[in-house]
Amino acid sequence: MPDSVSEQKTLYVVVCAAGPASDVGTLVDLAQEQGWTVQVMATPSAVSFIDVEALEKQTGRPVRSQHRAPGDPRSPKADAIIIAPATFNTINKLANGIADNYVLDVVNEAIGLGVPTVILPFVNSAYASRTPFHMSVEKLRSEQITVLLGPDTFEPHEVGDGSNKTKVFPWKETLIKIQHKAQNTKVH
Ligand SMILES: Cc1cc2nc3c(=O)[nH]c(=O)nc-3n(C[C@H](O)[C@H](O)[C@H](O)COP(=O)(O)O)c2cc1C
């Protein structure tokens, strides 16, 4: 079976406030090439990391970071979700069912519905060494969420801005993972 999407499906690309956020257009391009309709969602903190106008032009859809006003159109339902870059903060909150912003509301519910989800963290080694973080990653994996963290996928960066790792952030590999997962998952 080819990796590309045979019918038009919606991929939520959820962006958190970490270095690679400014390059999320790369993932949007790759996903659109594979036939996905892309809905970009940003945490409130991530809004200042991204070029909202450019992403809206690229996707033809508003970037969502808060609940819509009455009368605004709904976002299409997610067939799959990528959270990239995922922060220490959002990973810990999501693992513990905290929904204190729009993106977390949406993703917590989608996970409960069985929407295939892949998380690509961008964290430094200090954050990654924390016990709560290990527990969060384990909890998310126990809910069948793919967390691309580790020697075979993507490693934490040294404390600092992580700019050397930003250049090798695996957008393409993450898209391939979600495509495989979406093909093999039945949403409730
Ligand atoms: C310039 C800058 C870079 C940051 N980079 C990271 C990062 O790489 N990983 C991370 O987990 N947090 C990083 N942070 C901290 C997060 O932005 C902060 O924890 C924020 O509350 C995360 O919000 P969010 O999870 O809702 O996006 C960075 C903050 C700033 C100002």
What is the predicted pLDDT for the residue at 2? 43
* Whole-prediction pTM: 0.95
What is the predicted pLDDT for the residue at 10? 97
pLDDT tens digits, 95-127: 999 999 999 999 999 999 999 999 999 999 999
Is there a domain that residue 50 lies in? yes
Pair 188, 113: CB distance under 8 Å: yes
Ligand 1 pocket test target in 45, 93, 159 with most atoms within 8 Å of CB: 45
What is the domain extent for residue 134?
Answer: 9-183
Is there a domain that residue 4 lies in? no
pLDDT tens digits, 69-105: 888 888 899 999 999 999 999 999 999 999 999 999 9
Q: How far apart are CA 90 and CA 3, in angstroms?
A: 29
CA of 6 to the centre of ligand 1 (A): 36
What is the predicted pLDDT for the residue at 1? 38
Secondary structure letter of residue 186 according to DSSP: -
What is the predicted pLDDT for the residue at 5? 56
Strands 146-147 and 9-15, by their bridges, are unpaired
As for how many domains the chain has, the answer is 1
What is the predicted pLDDT for the residue at 174? 98
What is the predicted pLDDT for the residue at 184? 84
Q: How confident is the model at residue 187 (pLDDT cuts 50, 70, 90)?
A: low
Residue type, 119: I
Question: Which CATH number covers residue 170?
Answer: 3.40.50.1950
| Helix, strand, or coil (residue 117) | strand
Instruction: Say yes or no to pLDDT of 42 above 50.
Output: yes
Is there a domain that residue 3 lies in? no
Ligand 1 pocket test target in 47, 89, 133 with most atoms within 8 Å of CB: 89
Residues 6+ apart with CB under 8 A from 58: 25, 28, 29, 32, 38
What is the predicted pLDDT for the residue at 4? 55
pLDDT tens digits, 117-175: 999 999 999 999 999 999 999 999 999 999 999 998 999 999 987 888 888 999 999 99
Is there a domain that residue 117 lies in? yes
Is there a domain that residue 91 lies in? yes
Residue owning the nearest CA to atom 5 of ligand 1: 18
Is there a domain that residue 2 lies in? no
Name the nearest CA neighbour of 178 among 142, 148, 136, 140: 148
